[in-house]
Structure 1
Amino acid sequence: MSRVAAIDCGTNSIRLLIADADQGALTDVVRLMRVVRLGEGVDATGRFSDAALERTLAATREYAELIEQHDAGRIRFVATSATRDAANREVFFDGVRELLGVEPEVISGDEEASLSFQGAASVLSLDQADNLLVVDLGGGSTEFVMGNADGVTAARSMNMGCVRFTEKFLSTDPPTASEIAMAVGSARELIHSASIDVPLSQATALVGVAGSVTTITAHALGLEEYSSEAIHGTELPQQLTADACTDLLTMPRSVRGELPYMHPGRVDVIGAGALIWRTIIDELAERTNGRIASTITSEHDILDGIALSIASSERR
């Protein structure tokens, strides 16, 4: 058994998992998330802002202290969509190296998709014939990953996420009908592009991961507080999930902020996340002729995949 530390730095949040890994299974020691909005404005400027860098490095410093406190032997720091797009990313990398003593990795969309699938599939029962579609809906990108018990069979990462779509389309509170229509049109185009590489019509089950999807599930369940235990593994009728998406999309931000399971850092972007997830559900229903009647939510995602990848490299 070994103790590993995985850090997933995305467009909206930075997350830490310190876990004990034993023969492909993980036991959590610490699991944390901080909303730092690293990708704020990157789509428009192509650069990280000073404020975003300060927030993210402050969270990284906190994580470095926890990693030392819990004596994790191996660390992997993975950065995704926003960092791929930023011209001044070396400034960020220098800070990470200084704080953690490891080389930060900017992974490709394909590797991001693979790690997301590994994390989600690690806690699901997969039949050999299943075509499981895992959708990782992030702040700057969304990964579509098809796979089965043998691993990933097809994957595509698209520049479609809750922060990116909020900044690009949904400027009004609540969004107008024309803003919603433009965003849905763009999402449908990107889903179509993804379907060129990922055969969405062959999917036999749909699993959603990451903060937008888990928050939507909490809303659909009407939770009195955010509960990973209540959310993880939940299977809901597609219509119930779609209705929860519509509710969050059209709700004023002030009302969203009062929801007991809503993280403050998601209040302004969950509408776009809900729009994207609803559009994916609608597209999949059309492409599979209604064969998939439910959505499954997993709290295990790319973060778990990163931790598993460290443990796997140690065994080789």
Structure 2
Amino acid sequence: MVGPQSPPSGRWQEMPLAARPLGETPVSPRYAVFDIGSNSVKFLVAEWSGSDFRVLDHQSFTTRLVEGVLTTGELAEDAVARTEEVLRRLQDAADRWQADRRLAAATSAVRDSRNRKQFLKRIGQLLDCPVLLLSGEEEADITFQGVAADPALQSRDLLVTDVGGGSSQWIQGRHPRIETRRSLPLGCIRVRDRFVCRYPIGGKLLASMLLTLEKQIQEALRDFSPRGRALVAVGGTATSLAALIQELPQFDLEKLHLFSVETDTLQRTLEELSRLDLPHLQSLPGVPSKRADIFVPGIAVFFSTLAALGLDGLTVSVRGLRHGLVERLRQSCFASFS
């Protein structure tokens, strides 16, 4: 299932795009959000349509902002420069979409860095919009808001897990109420640096990583009550996992969103991936080549969550923090005019 494959042509797009505007004036407010994560910068433009958002544009770029933080405690200048270059491109896209309401948010890499104030000032001047520095708990809350507002999930008891680059979040509740949440420094880049020293990873290293993660997650989530809840996985690792299992050569919203993965399937996939070297990991269908070195660590966090909580599978959602930011931006704008 996960043997060497030719990479899909073009850039892997996590969300389908609406037709580009032809200079028309928007009939409703358009919202643009910039999610400045530890591994990637994600961008979303949307407008309100009935009971949910209509996505107009979504882009994701790997910048590895966290890597300098892991070695020196500060954001590295080259990582900051990569991030700024991407944000300039995305600001231009927001202008083309005539998005008049904008919001940016930074997460684990920035909040853990000593030079975060300088970075936030630079980004604020570049984007000319509010830039939030989210705590782990705030990141969890907004992610849950974005996922649980999905009409397909609104009436269900949920346990949402988001594996980022620097941190991972677990949030329990039912829309719109959050019952409990937890954020841990178990992002896929941090897990890679903690456990992975070579590729192929191999069965022994994989087993050690899974056992350690399971114990840590089980202790951290001891106050959660997972029975009867749907475990919903979000983020780039989750959508790449769904694409890999289905061997999708390109994005397909209907096949990715709400795709279910059983625990046994996840275990077999991990075992197969642990036998592949990095070039083979980079050639897998649905897995961006820049994510290949952190793909197995990210899946390991999902699997260890299932093992720690005794659950038999998870459901993938294409929604996440950026959707929650759009909703927060919409509500704040609505409140300012009410």
Could you list the runs of 5+ residues in structure 2 that have no partner in the other structure? 1-27
2:182 counterpart of 1:153: no
2:329 counterpart of 1:310: yes
Aligned partner of 1:83 in structure 2 is 110
| Separation in 2, partners of 1:67, 1:250 | 42
* CA contact 1:131–1:148 (8 Å) conserved in 2: yes
Aligned partner of 1:264 in structure 2 is 289
* CA contact 2:203–2:274 (8 Å) conserved in 1: no
* CA contact 1:144–1:194 (8 Å) conserved in 2: no
* CA contact 2:106–2:131 (8 Å) conserved in 1: yes
Q: Residue 28 of structure 1 aligns to which amino acid in structure 2?
A: V
* CA contact 1:136–1:209 (8 Å) conserved in 2: yes
Could you list the runs of 5+ residues in structure 1 that have no partner in the other structure? 286-291
RMSD of equivalent CA atoms: 1.9
Equivalent in 66, 75, 90 of residue 39 of structure 1: 66
- Relative distance call for 1:206 and 1:85 in structure 2 (3 A) is same
* CA contact 1:46–1:87 (8 Å) conserved in 2: yes
| Separation in 1, partners of 2:65, 2:228 | 33
Aligned partner of 1:300 in structure 2 is 319
2:230 counterpart of 1:205: yes
Aligned partner of 1:122 in structure 2 is 149
| Separation in 2, partners of 1:294, 1:201 | 12
* CA contact 2:37–2:164 (8 Å) conserved in 1: yes
| Separation in 1, partners of 2:202, 2:69 | 24
Aligned partner of 1:289 in structure 2 is none
| Separation in 2, partners of 1:125, 1:69 | 31
Aligned partner of 1:183 in structure 2 is 209
* CA contact 1:4–1:310 (8 Å) conserved in 2: yes
- Relative distance call for 1:303 and 1:249 in structure 2 (3 A) is farther
| Separation in 1, partners of 2:251, 2:212 | 31
* CA contact 1:24–1:311 (8 Å) conserved in 2: no
- Relative distance call for 1:203 and 1:171 in structure 2 (3 A) is farther
Please report how far the alpha carbon of residue 24 of structure 1 lies from its aligned counterpart in structure 2 after TM superposition: 5.3
Aligned partner of 1:254 in structure 2 is 279
Amino-acid identity (%): 27
2:299 counterpart of 1:280: no
SS in 2 for 1:174: coil
Aligned partner of 1:18 in structure 2 is 45
2:70 counterpart of 1:51: no
Q: Residue 230 of structure 1 aligns to which amino acid in structure 2?
A: K
Q: Residue 144 of structure 1 aligns to which amino acid in structure 2?
A: W
- Relative distance call for 1:120 and 1:242 in structure 2 (3 A) is farther
Aligned partner of 1:288 in structure 2 is none
* CA contact 2:107–2:133 (8 Å) conserved in 1: yes
- Relative distance call for 1:313 and 1:42 in structure 2 (3 A) is same
Equivalent in 119, 125, 132 of residue 92 of structure 1: 119
Aligned partner of 2:244 in structure 1 is 219
2:252 counterpart of 1:233: no
Q: How far does the alpha carbon of each residue in 1:44-72 deviate from its partner, in whole angstroms, 9 at most, with x for none?
A: 32111111111111001111111112111
Please report how far the alpha carbon of residue 262 of structure 1 lies from its aligned counterpart in structure 2 after TM superposition: 1.5
User: TM-score, normalising length from structure 2?
Assistant: 0.85
Pairs within 5 Å for 1:67-82:
67-82=94-109
Q: Residue 280 of structure 1 aligns to which amino acid in structure 2?
A: T
Give the paired residue count: 308
SS in 1 for 2:221: helix
User: TM-score, normalising length from structure 1?
Assistant: 0.91
